């Protein structure tokens, strides 16, 4: 098993251990545990037997076509859901999502575990199986549903307070608005202006205005200076 964890301040050790636990309990071809920011952008991502390029392609091109897209599960009660529960395979195999993404990467059976904070999905574990491993059984799904509350409690104890504290700290220190904080979070995650506009559903001109205000409030002249100041402040 190969676990890949990109550098980040997020609780990657917890994510890594959670994936190892699940892989010890049931057969999985590959898996991903990703955290979501308020605009559903993947932030901290830990992968098992999956290349970063596959995860990035999913997020940038296919997530909105996925029957298990986390945005569909806000304020719903499902702790665990499979792709076959959301769409019969007779229909799924005709979709662009299946033909252009799942099939080329050998994905057939998918089970997602959703973690919420105040009703909103803040993280997802996606467990993928090749055709040869077969569908997830009711016993396996029942086990995942029993494990989910513990993982959700631990994640919220570790991740959410840190995220809220960091936003409040930067917001208070530099008098940043909530939208400016959203932009700042995306910059920290490495988003371009074009990606910012897409993720926040704003025009490029508006993004540039927000960036100008952030630079002025934080007394920096470039993204590099901005990142250096944020890193220094959060330390």
Q: What is the structure's pLDDT at 40?
A: 54
Which CB contacts under 8 angstroms, 24+ apart, belong to 13-22? Answer: 14/154, 14/155, 14/158, 15/44, 15/46, 16/46, 18/125, 18/151, 19/46, 19/48, 19/125, 21/147, 22/125, 22/127, 22/144, 22/147
Q: Express the helix, strand and coil content of the chain in percent, nearest 5 each.
A: 60, 15, 25
Q: What is the structure's pLDDT at 124?
A: 95
3-class secondary structure, 101: helix
Q: What is the structure's pLDDT at 64?
A: 87
Q: What is the structure's pLDDT at 6?
A: 40
Q: What is the structure's pLDDT at 7?
A: 41
Q: What is the structure's pLDDT at 5?
A: 43
Helices (H), 63-192: 83-86, 89-92, 96-97, 138-174, 178-188
Structure tokens, 30: 């590959």
Q: What is the largest CA-CA distance in the chain?
A: 57
Domains of the chain: 3-160 (3.30.450.40), 175-234 (1.10.10.10)
Backbone angles phi, psi at 79, to 5 degrees: -85, -35
Per-residue pLDDT in tens (0 to 9) along the chain, 235 residues = 444 444 444 467 888 899 999 999 999 999 999 888 654 556 678 899 999 899 889 988 998 899 999 888 887 899 999 999 999 999 999 999 999 999 999 999 999 999 998 777 889 999 999 999 999 999 999 999 999 999 998 888 776 666 677 778 888 899 999 889 888 877 776 678 887 887 778 899 999 999 999 999 999 998 888 888 887 877 6
Structure tokens, 209: 């205005």
Model's pTM, two decimal places? 0.69
Helices (H), 11-60: 12-25, 52-57
């Amino acid at each position: 098993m190969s676990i890949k964890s990109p550098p980040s301040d997020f609780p990657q050790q917890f994510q890594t251990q959670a994936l190892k636990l699940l892989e010890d309990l049931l057969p999985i071809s590959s898996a991903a545990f990703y955290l979501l920011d308020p605009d559903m952008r993947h932030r901290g991502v830990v992968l098992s037997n999956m290349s970063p390029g596959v995860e990035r392609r999913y997020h940038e091109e296919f997530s909105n076509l996925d029957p298990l897209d986390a945005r569909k599960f806000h304020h719903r009660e499902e702790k665990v859901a499979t792709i076959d529960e959301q769409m019969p395979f007779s229909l799924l195999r005709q979709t662009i999502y299946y033909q252009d993404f799942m099939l080329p990467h050998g994905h057939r059976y998918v089970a997602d575990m959703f973690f919420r904070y105040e009703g909103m999905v803040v993280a997802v574990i996606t467990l993928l199986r090749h055709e040869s491993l077969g569908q997830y059984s009711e016993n396996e799904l029942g086990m995942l549903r029993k494990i989910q509350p513990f993982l959700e409690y631990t994640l919220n104890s570790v991740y959410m307070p840190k995220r809220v504290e960091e936003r409040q700290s930067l917001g208070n220190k530099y008098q940043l608005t909530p939208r400016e904080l959203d932009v700042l979070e995306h910059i920290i995650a490495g988003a371009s202006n074009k990606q910012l506009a897409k993720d926040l559903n704003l025009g490029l001109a508006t993004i540039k205005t927000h960036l100008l205000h952030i630079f002025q409030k934080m007394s920096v002249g470039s993204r590099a200076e901005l990142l250096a100041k944020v890193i220094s402040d959060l330390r």
